[in-house]
């Protein structure tokens, strides 16, 4: 919209037309407006990076330079790795954005995407083969990339690990048919020991002092008279402690570089007196954190940003576990309510900028990953609300301020997961509702009592720790505690579950990638009854889950030695105490889960086969197999029969709901037979991100009436789009038949509501009543899209005018114009539920 | 089936199947292999109903309270 047209219209006018993005632009401060518009769009549009966004070669060159220098050094790998990390932090270019109060970015310039060349050669090849993101001049850049890539062949993490994996499993995973990525300790979702580093008790310098003391004591011990196995192990511990120390010292140094830059800008270049003061404040802040614990909200937020930036220098982080209101809330309260050193508006400016700093973060990811997370770089699902370790309501003023800031800056990432519990106050619920009504698609709602019980059930976390949970990725609660936090959930433990039912039909042979991936369960036409069919389904389910879990278990076992994480270890009490890398499985209770993409296709397919083939005998199995082998081509009437005349999940129909429960219980039982290296369970967590689109051309035709190419259902336990015809309560009732504590880890549920129905106080009361039903039925999750068809169709037609429309895709939100046409259509076809 | 853009005439199966945005409707999106136009196709009748351009919704509105798709 033209600038003048925005200026001429009032906030009220925009709000009445539900053009929330223009209203937000008018309501936010000039600083926030500038910073919001200064963000480079980093989330891939469909699967490609936006024009102008370029791969950052600086970091890759620095890391390679240091690796070459250290190649013949006698240092153990963990020390070499720490030195590489320190070299990058000491030498990378830094910048401070105009009007910013917070600093720190993963790349060397605002439009760059950080590239870590030490993770995997196959990733490096993608950098070389993605011409749209190669910086100009292209020829020179390609030469640099070639040089970097050539160095890391055979030396990257994955290259080192591949030869010692089970090759058959690896080939099945790399085929892309059943899994999602590769098992790497530096590529996935790292939870953190926030209770150790975010409670104000210590910061980097105190940890360095403790490490020095540990090293001195160990040194003394190893040189004292006597020699035992403990003495021998002490040498490894010293190396680990040394490596941790190197990374923390580098962390302090880069913060001081920011302090120096801010100081120089203030004293030599800035003419505006107010901005000069702000720059001096940045300098003071970066002198303080991360070396010492924060004293103010600004210092606390800056501390968090430094921690995250450094973690994203050490590893490719696909998620951002965080509980900002819980850990920063006390500083907000002190500055705004007690000391009154900040006005509420100033605090919201800081929080809005905090969201913006997170929104701009990006690391180079392979195209399959970008397609599965269209519009964003990773799932930054920040956890807010909930209870404290004693079970008291943990919502605070910052919980509310964060949601207000989110409505002003309207970024699609980070989003919030709100931990609902019975003591949440109405004023907080109204803020959540306002975010939803204004079309953000977040917060999603999480049932805190159920998830605390679930966390205790699956892993045995004590209640005081379970109560502290925050999302490790989109939906999986993890206690950020000494033995509770899981340092890495490898992304490849993600199953493309639609393949389970597909392989039942094909005897385990994958017609899309042309290889035997699943189990040989026999010719499907020979099955005499549904029980035989279901038995084959169970076997395929177990086979796929086992392939993925075996690989992760192997990688997690190898990781402490082959791919250590000295920086993450330095932030972890258990590693400081033990001298062992934080990835060492014996140090944690375990918090593993299998993400179950494309799950509900199994349920609707099983129900259709049971009803139309085995019970009604309307079709033979041979006829069904024939139609599916032909991708339903020429069998449209029969396909429609399988869609329309078989029971569908989400309609409170016990026929199909019982099948859902049976499948989940079978998976849950098997989850306890699968064990992670910490000895704990592998429950499943049905959700999709945008994997339902990525897998559309990988999953063949299915008995639920889907063809190769069609988007899969939008995920979790959400009914098939348009197939939940009995209204919103029926959806909740179906989902309520699942035991959300013992049947799996968490269950994503998408719902779409009408914006016109949610207008005004009546809209709030309708939604609140609906949420009461949700809570009473003890569902662990729900999230909403509140955008009408006409807005979404208009955005498809004229994307320039609707750049800021946000939708909830699956476990995350994205700007509608950044997702592919197929994903857009998939969202539009979701049922719009009427409340009341 | 005949492409309404370029007139290309071929059996329905020879038009590239892209996706079916409503699984419970018989309307799908296919691509003409001659002119590459995206087409809405009635799968039961085997005819092209319209070209697909940005913002078009050949399967009607979303399911639910805002009106079920006509199929």
Nearest CB to A696 within list B19, B26, B56: B19
- pLDDT at position A1, please? 61
Tens-digit pLDDT profile for residues A128-185: 999 889 999 999 999 999 999 999 999 999 999 888 889 899 889 888 899 888 889 9
Token pair of A273 as six digits: 């007196």
Tens-digit pLDDT profile for residues A386-428: 999 999 999 999 999 999 999 999 999 999 999 999 999 999 9
**A403 burial level (CB within 10 Å; 0-12, 13-18, 19+):** buried
Confidence at A89, pLDDT banded by 50, 70, 90: very high
**Cβ contacts of B23 on chain A, cutoff 8 Å:** 643, 704-706, 710, 720-723
Interchain proximity A722–B24, CB inside 8 Å: yes
Tens-digit pLDDT profile for residues A56-77: 999 999 999 999 999 999 999 9
**A717: Cα separation from own chain's centroid:** 18
**Cβ contacts of A636 on chain B, cutoff 8 Å:** 26, 43-44
Indicate the range of A535-539, A595-599, A634-638, A757-761 predicted with least confidence: A757-761
Averaged pLDDT score across all residues of chain A: 95
Rounded average pLDDT over A619-633: 97
Nearest CB to A636 within list B21, B44, B59: B44
- For residue B37, tell me if it sits in a domain: yes
Give the residue numbers spanning the domain of B27: 12-51
Nearest CB to A789 within list B13, B19, B66: B66
CA B7 to chain A, closest CA, distance in angstroms equals: 22
Rounded average pLDDT over A105-126: 96
Tens-digit pLDDT profile for residues B47-63: 999 998 877 766 655 66
Tens-digit pLDDT profile for residues A665-719: 999 999 999 999 999 999 999 998 888 888 999 999 999 999 999 999 988 999 9
Tens-digit pLDDT profile for residues A259-305: 999 999 999 999 999 999 999 999 999 999 999 999 999 999 999 99
Q: Is the pLDDT of residue A449 over 70?
A: yes
- For residue B36, tell me if it sits in a domain: yes
Nearest CA in chain B to A791: B55
- For residue B57, tell me if it sits in a domain: no
Interchain proximity A789–B44, CB inside 8 Å: no
SS3 B17: strand
Nearest CA in chain B to A795: B55
- pLDDT at position A627, please? 98
Nearest CB to A822 within list B19, B44, B53: B19
**A381: Cα separation from own chain's centroid:** 6
CA dihedral A578, A584, A588, A591 (to 10 degrees): 160
Report yes or no: B49 at the A interface, CB cutoff 8 Å.
no
Report yes or no: B11 at the A interface, CB cutoff 8 Å.
no
Inter-chain Cβ pairs, chain A and chain B, closer than 8 A: 99
- For residue B69, tell me if it sits in a domain: no
CA A705 to chain B, closest CA, distance in angstroms equals: 7
Spatial CA neighbour of B6 closest among B43, B41, B45, B32: B32
CB within 8 Å of A630: residues ≥ 6 apart: A701
Q: Which long-range contacts (CB under 8 A, 24 or more apart) does A82-87 make?
A: A82/A242, A82/A243, A82/A244, A82/A246, A82/A247, A82/A566, A82/A567, A83/A246, A84/A118, A85/A246, A85/A247, A85/A250, A85/A313, A85/A314, A85/A566, A85/A567, A86/A246, A86/A247, A86/A249, A86/A250, A86/A253, A87/A62, A87/A63
- pLDDT at position B59, please? 60
- pLDDT at position B68, please? 35
- pLDDT at position A757, please? 84
Q: Is the pLDDT of residue A431 over 80?
A: yes
- For residue B21, tell me if it sits in a domain: yes
- For residue B67, tell me if it sits in a domain: no
- For residue B17, tell me if it sits in a domain: yes
Interchain proximity A636–B22, CB inside 8 Å: no
When divided into structural domains, chain B yields a total of 1
Task: Please say whether the beta carbons of A784 and A808 come within 8 A.
Answer: yes
- Structural domain spans, chain A: 1-37+186-196+316-448+749-836, 54-164, 490-558+597-740
**Cβ contacts of B24 on chain A, cutoff 8 Å:** 640, 643-644, 705, 722-723
Tens-digit pLDDT profile for residues A176-219: 899 888 889 998 899 999 999 999 999 999 999 999 999 999 99
DSSP A338-363: IS--S-HHHHHHHHHHHHHHHHT--B
- For residue B56, tell me if it sits in a domain: no
Name the residue with higher pLDDT: A605 or A789: A605
In a mutational test of the A interface, the residue from B11, B23, B64 whose CB has the highest number of chain A CBs within 10 Å is B23
Interchain proximity B19–A788, CB inside 8 Å: no
**A113: Cα separation from own chain's centroid:** 18
- pLDDT at position B66, please? 46
Report yes or no: B15 at the A interface, CB cutoff 8 Å.
no
**Cβ contacts of B45 on chain A, cutoff 8 Å:** none
Confidence at B71, pLDDT banded by 50, 70, 90: very low
Q: Is the pLDDT of residue A504 over 90?
A: yes
Q: Is the pLDDT of residue A798 over 50?
A: yes
- pLDDT at position B58, please? 63
Report yes or no: B22 at the A interface, CB cutoff 8 Å.
yes
Confidence at A369, pLDDT banded by 50, 70, 90: confident
Indicate the range of A72-81, A520-529, A715-724 predicted with least confidence: A715-724
């Amino acid at each position: 919209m033209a600038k003048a047209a925005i200026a001429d219209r009032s906030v009220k006018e925009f709000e009445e037309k539900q053009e929330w993005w223009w209203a937000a632009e008018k309501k936010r401060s000039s600083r926030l407006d500038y910073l919001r518009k200064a963000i480079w769009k980093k989330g891939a549009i469909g699967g490609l990076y936006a024009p102008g966004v370029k791969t950052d070669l600086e970091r890759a060159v620095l890391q390679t330079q240091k690796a070459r220098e250290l190649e013949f050094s006698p240092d153990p790998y963990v020390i070499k790795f720490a030195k590489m990390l320190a070299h990058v932090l000491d030498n990378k270019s830094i910048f401070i954005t105009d009007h910013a109060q917070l600093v720190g970015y993963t790349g060397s310039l605002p439009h760059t995407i950080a590239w870590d060349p030490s993770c995997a050669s196959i990733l490096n090849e993608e950098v070389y083969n993605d011409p749209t993101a190669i910086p100009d001049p292209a020829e020179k850049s390609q030469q640099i990339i070639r040089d970097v890539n050539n160095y890391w062949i055979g030396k990257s993490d994955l290259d080192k690990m591949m030869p010692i994996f089970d090759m058959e499993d690896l080939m099945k995973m790399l085929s892309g048919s059943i899994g999602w990525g590769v098992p790497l300790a530096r590529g996935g979702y790292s939870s953190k020991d926030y209770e150790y580093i975010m409670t104000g008790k210590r910061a980097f310098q105190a940890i360095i002092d403790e490490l020095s003391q540990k090293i001195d004591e160990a040194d003394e011990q190893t040189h004292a008279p006597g020699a035992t196995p403990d003495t021998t192990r002490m040498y490894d511990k010293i190396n680990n402690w040394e490596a941790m120390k190197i990374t923390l010292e580098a962390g302090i140094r880069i913060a001081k570089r920011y302090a120096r830059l801010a100081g120089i800008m203030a004293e030599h270049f800035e003419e505006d007196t107010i901005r000069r003061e702000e720059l001096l404040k940045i300098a003071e802040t970066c002198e303080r954190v991360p070396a010492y614990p924060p004293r103010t909200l600004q210092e606390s937020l800056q501390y968090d940003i430094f921690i995250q930036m450094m973690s994203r220098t050490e590893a490719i982080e696909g998620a951002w576990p965080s509980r900002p209101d819980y850990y920063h809330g006390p500083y907000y309260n002190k500055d705004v309510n007690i000391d009154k050193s900040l006005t509420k508006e100033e605090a919201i400016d800081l929080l809005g900028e905090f969201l913006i700093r997170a929104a701009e973060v990006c690391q180079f990811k392979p195209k399959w990953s970008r397609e599965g997370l269209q519009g964003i770089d990773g799932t930054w699902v920040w956890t807010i609300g909930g209870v404290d370790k004693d079970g008291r309501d943990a919502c605070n003023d910052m919980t509310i301020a964060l949601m207000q800031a989110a409505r002003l800056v309207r970024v699609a990432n980070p989003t919030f997961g709100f931990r609902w519990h019975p003591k949440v106050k109405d004023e907080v619920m109204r803020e959540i509702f306002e975010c939803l009504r204004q079309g953000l698609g977040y917060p999603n709602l999480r049932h805190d009592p159920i998830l605390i019980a679930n966390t205790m059930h699956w892993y045995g976390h004590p209640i005081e720790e379970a109560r502290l949970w925050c999302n490790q990725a989109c939906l999986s609660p993890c206690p950020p505690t000494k033995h509770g936090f899981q340092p890495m959930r490898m992304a490849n433990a993600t199953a493309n579950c639609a393949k389970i039912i597909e392989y039942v039909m094909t005897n385990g042979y994958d017609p899309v990638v042309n290889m035997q991936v699943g189990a040989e369960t026999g010719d499907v036409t020979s099955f005499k009854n549904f029980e035989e069919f279901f038995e084959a389904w169970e076997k395929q389910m177990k086979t796929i889950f086992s392939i993925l879990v075996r690989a992760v278990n192997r990688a997690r076992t190898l990781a402490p030695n082959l791919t250590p994480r000295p920086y993450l270890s330095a932030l972890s009490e258990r590693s400081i105490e033990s001298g062992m890398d934080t990835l060492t499985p014996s140090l944690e209770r375990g918090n593993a889960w299998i993400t179950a993409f494309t799950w509900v296709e199994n349920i609707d397919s099983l129900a259709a086969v049971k009803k139309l083939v085995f019970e009604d005998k309307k079709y033979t199995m041979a006829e069904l197999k024939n139609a599916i082998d032909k991708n339903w081509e020429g069998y449209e009437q029969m396909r429609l029969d399988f869609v329309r005349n078989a029971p569908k999940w989400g309609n409170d129909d016990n026929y199909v709901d019982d099948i859902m429960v049976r499948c989940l219980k079978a998976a849950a039982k098997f989850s306890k037979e699968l064990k992670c290296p910490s000895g704990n369970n592998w429950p499943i967590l049905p959700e999709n991100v945008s994997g339902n689109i990525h897998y559309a051309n990988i999953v063949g035709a299915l008995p639920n009436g889907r063809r190769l190419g069609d988007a899969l259902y939008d995920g979790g336990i959400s009914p098939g789009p348009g197939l939940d015809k009995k209204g919103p309560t029926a959806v909740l009732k179906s989902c309520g038949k699942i035991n959300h504590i013992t049947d799996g880890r968490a269950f994503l549920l998408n719902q779409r509501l009408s914006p016109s129905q949610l207008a005004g106080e009546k809209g709030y009361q309708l939604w609140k009543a609906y949420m009461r039903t949700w809570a009473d039925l003890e569902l662990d999750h729900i999230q909403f899209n509140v955008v009408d068809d006409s807005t979404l169709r208009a955005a498809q037609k004229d994307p320039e005018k609707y750049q800021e429309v946000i939708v909830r895709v699956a476990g995350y939100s994205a700007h509608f114009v950044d997702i592919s046409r197929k994903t857009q259509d998939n969202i539009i076809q979701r049922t719009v539920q009427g409340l009341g | 089936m005949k492409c309404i853009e370029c007139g290309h005439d071929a059996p329905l199966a020879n038009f590239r199947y892209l996706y079916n945005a409503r699984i419970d409707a018989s309307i799908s999106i296919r691509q003409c292999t001659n002119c590459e136009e995206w087409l809405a196709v009635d799968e039961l009748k085997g005819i092209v109903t319209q070209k697909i351009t940005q913002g078009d919704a050949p399967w009607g509105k979303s399911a639910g309270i805002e009106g079920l798709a006509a199929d």
